[in-house]
Amino acid sequence: MAEVRLVDIEKKYGNFLAVPKQSLTIHDGEFLVLLGPSGCGKTTTMRMIAGLEDITSGDIMIKGERINDKPPKDRDIAMVFQNYGLYPHMTVRQNIEYPLKLRGMDKASRKDRVMETAEKVELDALLERRPSELSGGQRQRVALARAIVRTPSIFLMDEPLSNLDAKLRVTMRAELKHLHHELGVTTVYVTHDQMEAMTLASRVAVMREGRIVQLDTPKKIYAEPADLFVAGFIGSPSMNLIDGAVKGGVFRTDGVEVPVDLGDRDGVVLGIRPEELEITQDTDAAIGGKLYALELTGESTLVTLRNGPTSVCARGHADFEADIDSPCHLVPKDGARFHLFDRASGERLR
C-alpha cells in the first residue's frame, strides 16, 4: 500500500506538450480514476507512474520516496495495458504465473495462487489456451489476472474494461470494486467512460488536453462541475447547457426564463441536469417549447424539447406519451441545482 505523489510533472514528446506541468496526490488505498476523452494524456500519465515513460521534468514519489530513476520492476506496481500486452507464446496459465516466477515464488505456491486468481476472473477453464485462442474479453481478463496475481503496492489499469461487452463490463466493474475493497491497494484507473469513473472511483481526476481540470469525489464532480467541459462530460444523458443572458436576476433565452442569483451579464451558460427537470401542464413553466423527441430507456423516457436554438432534455416517467411537435413544458424539481458558466472561459460562475 502506498501513496503516490506527482510533483510538478511535465511530459513532452519532442515539441509536443502531452502533459503540462501539474501535481497530483493519490492517497494510500485510494481508487483514483483518470477520466477524459481519448488523447488527453491519461495513458501518458499512467506510463510515467509505471516508469515506462521518462518524465520531462518534475518528481514522482511513491511512499515518500523519489522514484524518478527507479526501473519499473522496483516500483512494486502491476499494470493492465489498454491492449492487454499478453505474452503470445505462453498459455494463459504461464501468462498469469510469469510475475510470480520472476519474483521467485516456489512452484507449488505458484500453482495455487494462479488457480485462485483464475477462478476470481473466471478463467479456470481456459488455463491451457494461448492468448490467440481467446476472445477480447477473455484476453482482458487474463491481463487483469496477471496484474492481481501478485499483491503490489499500486495497481495501474489502463482502460481494462474497454473491450468487454456491456454486460460483462458491468459484472467486471463490480468485481473490480470488490477487489479493491478486499485488497485495499492504491489503484490508478484510466477510462474515458464517465459511468465507470463515477461507479468505481474514490476520487476522479477529469483531464482535458493533458491538464487535470477537476479532482474530486464523484459526488462532488457530479454536483458541482468546475467548468463547462466537466459539466458536459459527466452524467448520462449529459447536462443541458443552455446559452443565454442574465438580466435583473433572471436567466433568459428562447423558451427559458429562470430566476438566478447572478448580476447582469451576457454570454452565460445555464446548466441543469435532465434528471432534475420534470414535465408539467403549466404553460407558464420556466422552460417551454415543442416536443422534439421521445426516447424510452426502460426505467424512464428522455424527453427533448426545442425552442429556437434552445434544446433541453428531461428525464420523464417511463409512461409519458405525447405527440411530436406538440407544446411541452418543463419545471425544475424541488431542490434542483442551476449551474452557471461563463460562455467564453467555460469557468463556473455559480
Partner 1 sequence: MQDRLLPYWLLVPAFIIVLATTIYPLAYSFITSFRAWDLTKSRRPEGFVGIDNYIYAASESQFLNSLWVTFIFVITSVALTVVLAMALALLLRRKGPMHTFTRIILILPFAMSPALIGVSYRFMFNPEFGVLANGLGAVFPALQGVPWLADPQLAMGILVLTDVWHWTPYMTFMCLGGLASIPRETEEAARIDGASNLRIVFGIILPQMRGVILVMAVLKTIFALKMFDQVVTLTGGGPGTSTETLAYFIFNVGFRWFDMGYASALAWILTAIMMFISIWYVRMLLSERKMATA
Ligand X SMILES: Nc1ncnc2c1ncn2[C@@H]1O[C@H](COP(=O)(O)OP(=O)(O)O)[C@@H](O)[C@H]1O
Residues that bind Mg ion (CB under 5 A): 43
Q: Residue 243 and residue 348: Cα distance in Å, rounded?
A: 14
The option from partner 1, ligand X, Mg ion, none interacting with 44 (CB < 5 to 8 A, set by class) reads ligand X
Can you tell me which of 6, 40, 78, 206 binds partner 1, judged by CB under 8 A? 78
Under rule CB under 8 A, residue 88 binds partner 1: yes
Least gap, CB of 43 to ligand X (angstroms)? 3
Outline where 55-212 has alpha helix (H): 92-102, 107-120, 136-148, 166-183, 194-200
Under rule CB under 6 A, residue 146 binds ligand X: no
Beta-carbon-side half-sphere exposure of residue 136 (alpha carbons within 13 Å)? 11
> DSSP string spanning 264-308?
SEEEEEEEE-GGGEEEES-TT-SEEEEEEEEEE-SS-EEEEEEET
- Neighbour tally for 74: CB within 10 Å: 11
The residue to which cell 469557468 is assigned: 347
Under rule CB under 8 A, residue 52 binds partner 1: yes
Count of positions (residues) in the chain: 350
Under rule CB under 8 A, residue 84 binds partner 1: yes
Q: Residue 192 and residue 105: Cα distance in Å, rounded?
A: 36
Under rule CB under 6 A, residue 44 binds ligand X: yes
Least gap, CB of 21 to ligand X (angstroms)? 15
Least gap, CB of 163 to ligand X (angstroms)? 15
Stretch that binds ligand X, among 32-40, 109-117, 283-291, 327-335 (CB under 6 A): 32-40
Here the cell at position 234 is 459527466
Closest CB to Mg ion among residues 36, 289: 36
Under rule CB under 8 A, residue 86 binds partner 1: yes
Under rule CB under 8 A, residue 160 binds partner 1: no
Can you tell me which of 133, 264, 321, 347 binds partner 1, judged by CB under 8 A? 133
Instruction: List CB contacts of 53: < 8 A, sequence separation 6 or more.
Output: 11, 44, 47
The residue to which cell 423558451 is assigned: 255
Closest CB to ligand X among residues 149, 206: 206
Least gap, CB of 9 to ligand X (angstroms)? 13
Residue type, 61: M
Strands across the sheet with 4-13, in order? 16-26, 4-13, 57-62, 65-66
Can you tell me which of 4, 6, 9, 18 binds ligand X, judged by CB under 6 A? 18
Here the cell at position 101 is 516466477
Least gap, CB of 26 to partner 1 (angstroms)? 18
Closest CB to partner 1 among residues 12, 73: 73
Least gap, CB of 24 to ligand X (angstroms)? 15
Q: Residue 80 and residue 146: Cα distance in Å, rounded?
A: 8
126 near 134, Cβ under 8 Å? yes
Can you tell me which of 5, 110, 146, 348 binds partner 1, judged by CB under 8 A? 146
Can you tell me which of 23, 57, 83, 236 binds partner 1, judged by CB under 8 A? 83
Under rule CB under 8 A, residue 189 binds partner 1: no
Q: What angle do CA 28, 31, 34 make, to 5 degrees?
A: 120
Q: Which residue is nearest to Mg ion (CB)?
A: 43
Least gap, CB of 63 to partner 1 (angstroms)? 17
What does the binding site for partner 1 look like in residue numbers (CB under 8 A)?
50, 52, 71-73, 77-79, 81, 83-89, 98-99, 102-103, 130, 132-133, 146
Tell me which residues touch ligand X (CB under 6 A): 13, 16, 18, 36, 38-44
